[in-house]
Amino acid sequence: MDRLADLDLAVRTGASCTSVVADLVGDPDGPTVLLRGDMDALPMPEDNDLPFASEVAGTMHACGHDAHTAMLVGAARLLAERRDALSGTVRFMFQPGEEGHAGARHMIDEGVTDGVSRAFAIHVTPNLPSGWVSTRGGPMLASTDEFSIVVRGRGGHASTPHFANDPIPVACEVVTALQTYVTRRVDAFRPGVLTVTRIRAGTTTNVIPETALLQGTIRAVDPQTRAGVVAAVQRVATNIAAAHDMQAEVTLTEGYPVTVNDAARAAGTLEVATALLGPDRVLELPSPVMGAEDFSYVLQEVPGAMAFLGMCPPGADPRTVAPNHSNRMLIDEDAMATGIALYAAVALDALVDAGADRPS
Amino acid sequence: MDRLADLDLAVRTGASCTSVVADLVGDPDGPTVLLRGDMDALPMPEDNDLPFASEVAGTMHACGHDAHTAMLVGAARLLAERRDALSGTVRFMFQPGEEGHAGARHMIDEGVTDGVSRAFAIHVTPNLPSGWVSTRGGPMLASTDEFSIVVRGRGGHASTPHFANDPIPVACEVVTALQTYVTRRVDAFRPGVLTVTRIRAGTTTNVIPETALLQGTIRAVDPQTRAGVVAAVQRVATNIAAAHDMQAEVTLTEGYPVTVNDAARAAGTLEVATALLGPDRVLELPSPVMGAEDFSYVLQEVPGAMAFLGMCPPGADPRTVAPNHSNRMLIDEDAMATGIALYAAVALDALVDAGADRPS
Amino acid sequence: MDRLADLDLAVRTGASCTSVVADLVGDPDGPTVLLRGDMDALPMPEDNDLPFASEVAGTMHACGHDAHTAMLVGAARLLAERRDALSGTVRFMFQPGEEGHAGARHMIDEGVTDGVSRAFAIHVTPNLPSGWVSTRGGPMLASTDEFSIVVRGRGGHASTPHFANDPIPVACEVVTALQTYVTRRVDAFRPGVLTVTRIRAGTTTNVIPETALLQGTIRAVDPQTRAGVVAAVQRVATNIAAAHDMQAEVTLTEGYPVTVNDAARAAGTLEVATALLGPDRVLELPSPVMGAEDFSYVLQEVPGAMAFLGMCPPGADPRTVAPNHSNRMLIDEDAMATGIALYAAVALDALVDAGADRPS
Amino acid sequence: MDRLADLDLAVRTGASCTSVVADLVGDPDGPTVLLRGDMDALPMPEDNDLPFASEVAGTMHACGHDAHTAMLVGAARLLAERRDALSGTVRFMFQPGEEGHAGARHMIDEGVTDGVSRAFAIHVTPNLPSGWVSTRGGPMLASTDEFSIVVRGRGGHASTPHFANDPIPVACEVVTALQTYVTRRVDAFRPGVLTVTRIRAGTTTNVIPETALLQGTIRAVDPQTRAGVVAAVQRVATNIAAAHDMQAEVTLTEGYPVTVNDAARAAGTLEVATALLGPDRVLELPSPVMGAEDFSYVLQEVPGAMAFLGMCPPGADPRTVAPNHSNRMLIDEDAMATGIALYAAVALDALVDAGADRPS
């Protein structure tokens, strides 16, 4: 907010979270386009001795959101200099809580997308050569859902299983049956990933435990696939348990929806990037990736796109460098200039694009 | 019947099957004891050139029932000679339809056990040294039940399983889940055997079939185990199918019950056999066997016992000789004299035993 | 060949199969482009009473290859009329044996692609509105491989499984383990489909069989995925069998490779189709389909593309109409004119495209 | 030892553990018979307020070994009074470390069974009516073996399993395959129990772990069954892992062998108990139980038997009362007199029995 103070922006902060929204008004009769940069760090220790390492123990910017924030401020400064050329308003959305707290959802509820015609976000990644840009129309990132299953049997002594009702083989059958669901009922070209990441039952070698716990995640880039897998977890767990005279308690926690880029805005972004960077540094993604983003909520409200910006540090190999969410994650700061330019150029292009929609 | 004609027996034949019942009346005020010999052959070709080989193509005495019949006639002749010494009546039960047709059940319905106080049967086996006798108190042979499961999915092309609902992996899960039932819910010392003997689905390599078929058998020597396994087949199949949004149609066919020897009559049989043969040729069975017998129905009505009589042919090894139900099955006919003597001696002993029950 | 006779084409027939290759030479110094139409019928009875129904019992054109042949003849006639305008040679490839006999492979071995610079094929489908055209760059159809697995245990009586070694639960475990391979080791965005289409073991309810048979198919649109699944079938089957002290005999039969369209030629085809038909009847396929084609062999030799041509009969719904390989399959013959025009227009475009490659 | 001090016994203590061996010598030329009482407590808190509750926090006599010790002292006192009537020597074996430390094995290594002709032990149980005695010839208690399996895959992100190699479904397949081993390869009448009591893998919902852990126990009453199950754990785990390109590290820990009563000594014990208590309080066990005992080591050296002595507290139901190893376990101390008498009477009987073996 300090770095925005001298720019004559309409700035307001959030009620439900530490969000900042700043409007740069060019032509007040023109459309509004939104640029988003998320701000939150991750609860993990930074593993390096660099002078700019995190000063807060156990917390670090392992997902590049500090770069997002800085680039978005940079874009605000760049665009503010050419306010007169703006055929509308550019809204800068500084968002907290992307890492599992749905900050974007809170900001939408407080009006950040009201009156907005187009939206754009950048996410940096060390796994792309520095200064490269990539995106795609349609699904770009996955939905996430988490599940927890408690298979409830009856405990007893390991030597007399018939007096107990052993939940361990039954939990194992649930794991197996879920694989079969995925291979048999999910369209191979509208894929879903279901991973049981945690299984836990029993404490010793002579006692049959009362319960077995399964936990995991569901990823999909298609709403129908997502709904199918979510329903399958419930159906498979409860019926497999019933097959063995047990109960399964299933808890499903809905995460972010699929991040779906507007086809035209993704194409526009690729064009703008190509104009800025030349064709060799612009990559149309051949398929989505199974990560997730709460910018998906913004894209449910407003046509727009998200793009990856490569920030592989000098000398490193993008295929093997420490990725986002590693505690040794680093970025090439020189690529931030590219990010600032991309934000600004996409904003200008989006204003034109949005303007074409409007009644003259 | 010809061989019984000269013995002054009260002979009657069955209405519902080709059974023969012959009563040898000693003391008309005494108790009645029953000796059973089954008579039916098996629908299989005999694989030998012996002069006494079956003359009916595709049918042979592969389970020794011809020996049972002959021995029972022999016992009738032997006992008829000492009718005056009989403290009651001996009933000779010549039974058809032991091999899956429950002939004993039909004869009971027609009254063969009415007024009977004790019952005894012999079954020959090549897998015991010739002339040996063995039995045990309590369960001696298993119950049988057969099941058939149709898992009903939805057919389609092998390349697009999501348009179909593939029953094959689901049928396979049913097979697996049934193993878990047996290991977890059946008391190790009251065992049951469940075997899926047949699985069948699909015809080609590019079509997902509509259904998958499972068939098999359940054996147990304990009614609680039997009931548990039978219920499990239904529960497991229908719920595993439901886990995958399918139906399972389960057909259960009840076979013979457990053959349970009366403890006192089994002990009496072992004593009688020891008196006849000496201790070295009498073996108390350490556990039941998982075969089945419809003499079980008789033993549900009347205290009694069944015994195995060894008939391993001379020179053969009882462990490797062709067993009952082999089309090369042979017996040592010399042991038939032992069988006749055993029938007669057990009958006399049983008359005494039954007489002791009666009010004086 | 009769219908080509008056066109002054260089026609030759195949040695290893009933193929016909006809060259229409325009500018003899120009490049050669290939148009392919397959000719073979399917061994299945035709289920209709139409006047043009198959006259050969048990054989019918259920995959539209008669339409392909007719359209290719039509294209030859159309182009022959404008031979002078041809900047090179158009080769008409009339191919037998597409349905599992790799006719294309035989024709390549006999030289059909020698000297060819571009290639194009059409496949009709009732499941697309009549007259529509669709294709995509990159993988369009899948590879196929077939597998057969014999799990070899040891037979015995169903009541004493410990004397046998039951292959049925082991075959079921193989089926289950293969699902796990697919969900865990195949990249969700480079998918593979593995379907066990046939399982067969046992004949009765009281005998454990010696072996269990599994058969099925593998589909993939990515060579790495294909190789991984093929290797997994071998590894999973033999090791699961070994886990149970059995052997698994695995037979893998390699089918057609992935049909991969050249990106530029697919784009060129979509452009040509759009010019012919307008944008509303041209569809870029969002993903491949898991069917297979031996035109894949041609595309391994020569850059080119294949396109689907919609032939849904009048009044029918493309989503529910009898599809290819149904014995009630019908096409809208009126769309054949579109196919002829598309063949010819793509040939002309391809000649131009190929000409641009050549040294001047 | 204080309570033995006035009895003129030859007492010695152990070198490798806190054992006490006391010999009461009658006829020095006669045989020696051994009576065993184990002494150790369990590391668990006692859950009652009784005046005689454990005074050592976290340690209690939950398996009745204090009663065993007291009864054995009582028997020593009783027999010492009639030393002149003893036709040989009675050895009192006070044994520590029965609960998993193989104290009997240590005492045998130090000579406790040297020169001993017969052996006898009592174990109390609240699950039998107070004052009842039961035993059987042959196997009475099971062998134990423990296993631990680490399935080693490769960790990664839950959204991209193809970059990892997920050990969780593979560990689940191992659990399932072990059930199949037990149902298919173990003789139903020589049973084994294999229970996976613990499964553990993963910590969060978005990470695939590197390894999965399985632990459990194997019980059997037959050496062949035991060896088969132990071998199966190794074979199944390593091959199932190999099926999925993983390793399984299997650790097997051999526990106590099967406790096998000598048939004649078990029959003698039942006779002695019947003479003492009448037939209504003596029960021949119909089958072994799947618990374990290190008295098994003594019975590998010396013919003998173990018997259960019922100690269900007054007013409680033996079927539902807190069992051995419960922290609310109680006994009916009045039954200790029965135990003392049984120890003494079996010793006298065993001396006679052993004397009959000796050359005169």
pLDDT tens digits, one per residue of B203-243 = 888 889 999 999 999 999 999 999 999 999 999 999 999 99
Predicted confidence at residue B156, as pLDDT, reads: 86
Closest to A329 in 3D by CA, of A44, A4, A32, A2: A44
CATH, residue B15: 3.40.630.10
Q: Is the pLDDT reported for residue A207 higher than 90? A: no
What residue has token string 């059974």? Answer: B19
DSSP characters over D143-176: EEEEEEEEEE-B-EETT-GGGSB-HHHHHHHHHH
- pLDDT at residue D327 greater than cutoff 90: no
B250 and B340 together in one domain: no
Chains contacting chain A through 3 or more C-beta pairs under 8 A? B, C, D
Per-residue confidence (pLDDT) for residue A360, from 0 to 100: 56
Whether C180 and C206 share a structural domain = yes
- Judge whether D239 is closer than 8 Å to chain C, CB to CB: yes
Contact between B258 and B222 (Cβ < 8 Å)? yes
Query: DSSP per residue over C223-255, as a string?
Result: HHHHHHHHHHHHHHHHHHHHHTT-EEEEEEEE-
pLDDT for residue D238 is more than 70: yes
* B252 in contact with chain C, both atoms CB, cutoff 8 A: no
C184 and C247 in a single domain? The answer is: yes
Looking at the structure, tell me whether residues A306 and A339 fall in a common domain. Answer: yes
Confidence check: pLDDT of C51 > 60: yes
Q: Does C182 touch chain A (CB under 8 A)?
A: yes
- Tell if the CB–CB gap between D239 and C239 is shorter than 8 Å: yes
Question: Residue D333 catalytic?
Answer: yes
Q: Which range of residues forms the domain containing residue C223?
A: 143-254
Has residue D360 got a pLDDT over 80?
Answer: no
Mean pLDDT value across residues D193-219: 94
Mean per-residue pLDDT over chain C, rounded:
95
Q: How far is A323 from C129, CA to CA, in rounded Å?
A: 46
Q: Could you tell me if C271 and C150 lie in one domain?
A: no
What totals of helices (H) and strands (E) does chain C contain, helices first?
7, 16
Same domain, B269 and B288: yes
Query: A325 falls in which pLDDT band (50, 70, 90)?
Result: confident
The DSSP output letter for D42 is B
Are B82 and B153 in a shared domain?
no
* pLDDT tens digit sequence for D23-50: 999 999 999 999 999 999 988 888 888 8
Residue A83 CA: distances (Å) to CA of A23, A28, A86, C147, D216: 11, 11, 5, 67, 72
Please report the pLDDT score of residue A119 as a whole number.
Answer: 98
* pTM of this structure: 0.90
Whether residues C177 and D236 touch (CB distance < 8 A) is answered with no
Which 3 state secondary structure label does DSSP give B36?
strand
* Domain closes at, from B221, B254, B287: B254
Of the residues D256, D293, D297, D343, only one is catalytic, namely D256
| CATH number, domain containing residue B191 | 3.30.70.360
Residue C360 pLDDT exceeds 70: no
Q: Chains touching chain D at 3 or more Cβ pairs under 8 angstroms? A: A, B, C
Shared domain check, C76 and C55: yes
Question: How far is it, in rounded angstroms, from Cα C133 to Cα C128?
Answer: 8
Q: What integer is the mean pLDDT of C147-151?
A: 98
Nearest Cα of chain D lies from the Cα of C214 at a distance, in angstroms, of: 17
Q: Which of B184, B188, B286 sits opposite D191 (nearest CB)?
A: B188
Question: How near does any CA of chain D get to the CA of B277, in Å?
Answer: 23
Sort out which chain B residues have CB atoms less than 8 A from A165's CB and list them.
Answer: 184-185
Q: What is the pLDDT of residues C232-241, one digit of tens each?
A: 999 999 999 9
**Residue B94 above 90 pLDDT?**
yes
For the stretch B56-75, pLDDT in tens is 998 999 999 999 999 999 99
Q: Known catalytic residue: B333?
A: yes
pLDDT at C245: 98
Residues in chain B within 8 Å Cβ distance of D176:
176, 179-180
Number of C-beta neighbours around residue C100 at 10 A:
15
Considering only B329-333, D154-158, D197-201, which range has the smallest mean pLDDT? D154-158
Give the span between the Cα atoms of C348 and B293, in whole angstroms.
83
Residues D247 and D315 in one domain: no
* Mean pLDDT (whole number) for A270-280: 97
Chain-chain contact of C183 with A184 (C-beta, under 8 angstroms): no
Is the pLDDT reported for residue A79 higher than 80?
A: yes
Residue B360 has pLDDT above 70, yes or no: no
From A203, A226, A254, the end of a domain falls on A254
Q: Does D170 touch chain C (CB under 8 A)?
A: yes
* Mean of all residue pLDDT scores within chain B: 95
What does the mean pLDDT of chain D come to? 95
D193 to chain B: which residues are within 8 Å by CB?
183, 188
Q: What is the pLDDT of residues C297-345, one digit of tens each?
A: 999 999 999 999 999 999 999 988 988 888 889 999 999 999 999 999 9
Asked if pLDDT for residue B358 goes beyond 90, the answer is no
How many domains in chain B? 2
Instruction: For helices B167-185 and B223-243, give the axis angle rounded to 10 degrees.
Output: 150
Tell me the average pLDDT across D207-215.
94
Flag whether residue D279 sits within 8 Å of chain A, measured between CB atoms.
no
- Categorize the per-residue pLDDT at B325 as very low, low, confident or very high, splitting at 50, 70 and 90: confident
Q: How confident is the model at residue A252 (pLDDT cuts 50, 70, 90)?
A: very high
Query: What pLDDT score was predicted for residue B181?
Result: 98
Tens of pLDDT, residues A93-141: 999 999 889 999 999 999 999 999 999 999 999 999 999 999 999 999 9
Catalytic residue among B46, B181, B256, B297: B256
Same domain, B60 and B194: no
Q: Are both B135 and B220 inside the same structural domain?
A: no
Is the Cβ of B44 closer than 8 Å to some Cβ of chain C? no
Are A179 and A97 members of one domain?
no
- Tokens 């294209």, located at residue: C75
Give the one of A179, A184, A287 whose C-beta lies nearest to C189's C-beta.
A287
- What is the Cα–Cα distance from B30 to B86, expressed in whole angstroms? 9
Instruction: Name the nearest CA neighbour of D267 among D339, D335, D346, D343.
Output: D346
CA distance C151 to C168: 8
Question: Strand locations in B70-191, DSSP E?
Answer: 89-95, 116-125, 133-135, 138-141, 143-152, 156-157
Q: What tokens appear for D249 in the block? A: 């590290």
Which of A254, A270, A286 terminates a domain? The answer is A254
